[in-house]
Structure 1
Amino acid sequence: MSKNMQREFASRDELVAYLREQFPEAARDNHISQIVGGRKAAEAALEKVDAAQYAKSRNFLTGAVTRLSPYIRYGVLSLAEIRDYVLQKVKHQDEATKLINELGWRDYWQRLYVKLGNGIWEDQEPYKTGYKVEEYQQKLPEDIAHGTSKHVCIDSFSRDLREIGYLHNHMRMWLAAYIVHWRRVRWQTGAKWFLEHLLDGDPASNNMSWQWVASTFSHKPYYFNRENLERYTEGVYCRQCPLYGSCDFEGSYKELEQRLFPKGEFSNNRGSQSWQRGKKGRGEGKSD
């Protein structure tokens, strides 16, 4: 970066205007994230973290997620720093267990990245879905990319990804599952799309999470049903969806399993409790 570049600004709007002028080809569109960068903003976000509430509510869209991922992604905050801060703040160390466990998963993905390098773009294991690699398309469907699938939830996730550059971790899982399992698109395609837009997009956490959803880095695919999505979103999308009651996500897990994976290699006795055990076994909190 040039030493002659302006470094002091009267407002964020002035900063944005200056960056547009200096880097006209860098912006994809006119959307500006509300996430503020820098050490002060990172420290302010860290001070708001409530580990106990995080453990209880992190899977809900209105839950107490940390919003620290952009600062972790760019090295503004370290995993060890967050761990130490949280442990000092809680009354009982057990309250911090879930949050620290998720930091551990993030560290694990990074260590895998060091070992695998560009291999994180390769299937680590065969799909357990019953479909061959060549049966998955490589192009992202236009209706997903532009948010016109007519599923209010999926279209909203697509829009937020493109306009805000951030998605709640559960949104990422649902959107990834829809792309891979309902639309049968290779996980690499979806992973690249995410990295194009996510401000906290980290290749290690992103790719290995997509592989976990796809089943190329887990013993079975991750998928969801409408009941699951409605519960954790408190019905905010389902209430306004014209497809409610007849959407692609209707049915029990067993019914969806038979519909999506008629030749799947994993157990047919799934159910919501089996799904929960699988989720905990692999870990899901890569991007909170």
Structure 2
Amino acid sequence: MTNDMRRDFANREELATYLKEQFPEAAERDDHISPIIGGRQAAVAALQKVDPVKYAKSRNFLTGAVTRLSPYIRYGVLGLREARDFAFSKIRNQDEAAKFVNELGWRDYWQRLYMKLGDGIWKDQEEYKTGYSASEYATELPQDIREGTTGLVCIDSFSRDLREIGYLHNHMRMWLAAYIVHWRRIRWQEGTKWFLEHLLDGDPASNNMSWQWVASTFSHKPYFFNRENLERYTEGVYCKKCPLYGKCDFEGSYEKLEAKLFPKGEFVQKDNSQSWQKGKRKR
């Protein structure tokens, strides 16, 4: 005889209270309840809002037409084929859905890679291309990052959204990961575990290999950014209210930041608007 969990609740608040009672250790660690609604009905509603054309043009911007389908795809509430077919039904020619379908393809690729590597996705696939060895990276994530008290408005906001919402825009993930690995010189595995604690769409395949892409253990070079890049894609929403504006850790050209972050490295950052989920490719 099994003790099945309750499935019927009068409202979402009653559900949240019940879950906290059932999982007291998790609630003690973090009792935030994400505003994202789960279930098939919510998934279909989100899918119906997808505009492949607008997605391709604006997905890199925080205010862009991102789909937010990833939590539903993560748990099989939506299938990749279903999302692809819906996108094709909304366009005149298949090229208009190319970017959207391409991202679905990357998710499928990461899952297939996971099948091949197994627990190996927790190991560096290659050496760091930063000029530093793995032993030179810290093995613990600092509390100021976890708690959002670094003093950098952007980073602290990303940390808060991760913990309270369980979802981050693709660019937020890249910037936060780059800050942790390259500015704070912490091993990507620590950031990966932190993301998996909170992301509603977090799965080891996409998450781990994307962190490795940022770190450069699964890419030709490390991903990093500067304030100009962040300000452009956020429309300055964080920079406008940051007391460190003009003197923050991200100030300067890519050449200047490269020399600061990777004094022993031998590469030049060219394109700074790549996707979080990219494989082993030149940028």
Query: Does the alignment reach a TM-score above 0.5?
Result: yes
Residue 95 (structure 1) aligned with residue 119 (structure 2): no
Residue 68 (structure 1) aligned with residue 63 (structure 2): no
SS at match of 1:26: helix
1:275 is matched by which residue type in structure 2? D
Q: d(CA) in 2 for partners of 1:79 and 1:145? A: 32
Deviations 1:93-115 (A, max 9, x none): 21100000001111111010000
Shift of 1:50: 0.7
SS at match of 2:224: coil
Q: TM-score, normalised by structure 2?
A: 0.94
Q: Is the 8 A contact 2:180 2:186 kept in 1?
A: yes
Figure out how many residues of one structure are paired with residues of the other and give that number.
Answer: 278
Partner of 1:136: 137
1:39 is matched by which residue type in structure 2? R
Partner of 1:12: 12
Residue 275 (structure 1) aligned with residue 275 (structure 2): no
Q: d(CA) in 2 for partners of 1:193 and 1:26? A: 14
Gaps (5+ residues) in structure 2? none
Shift of 1:120: 0.2
SS at match of 1:25: helix
Alpha-carbon spacing, 1:64–1:282, altered in 2? closer, same or farther (3 Å):
closer
1:13 is matched by which residue type in structure 2? E
Q: d(CA) in 2 for partners of 1:23 and 1:276? A: 41
SS at match of 1:185: coil
Partner of 2:199: 198
Q: d(CA) in 1 for partners of 2:277 and 2:9? A: 45
Write out aligned runs for 1:84-163 (5 A): 84-163=85-164
Q: Is the 8 A contact 2:171 2:275 kept in 1?
A: no
Q: d(CA) in 1 for partners of 2:18 and 2:4? A: 13
Q: TM-score, normalised by structure 1?
A: 0.92
Q: d(CA) in 1 for partners of 2:5 and 2:73? A: 26
Partner of 2:184: 183
Q: d(CA) in 2 for partners of 1:101 and 1:162? A: 29
Give the share of equivalent positions with the same residue, in percent.
Answer: 74
Deviations 1:221-268 (A, max 9, x none): 0000000000000000000001100111001111111111111133x4
Q: Is the 8 A contact 1:218 1:282 kept in 2?
A: no
Partner of 1:262: 263
Q: Considering only aligned residues, what root-mean-square deviation do their CA atoms show, in Å? A: 1.8
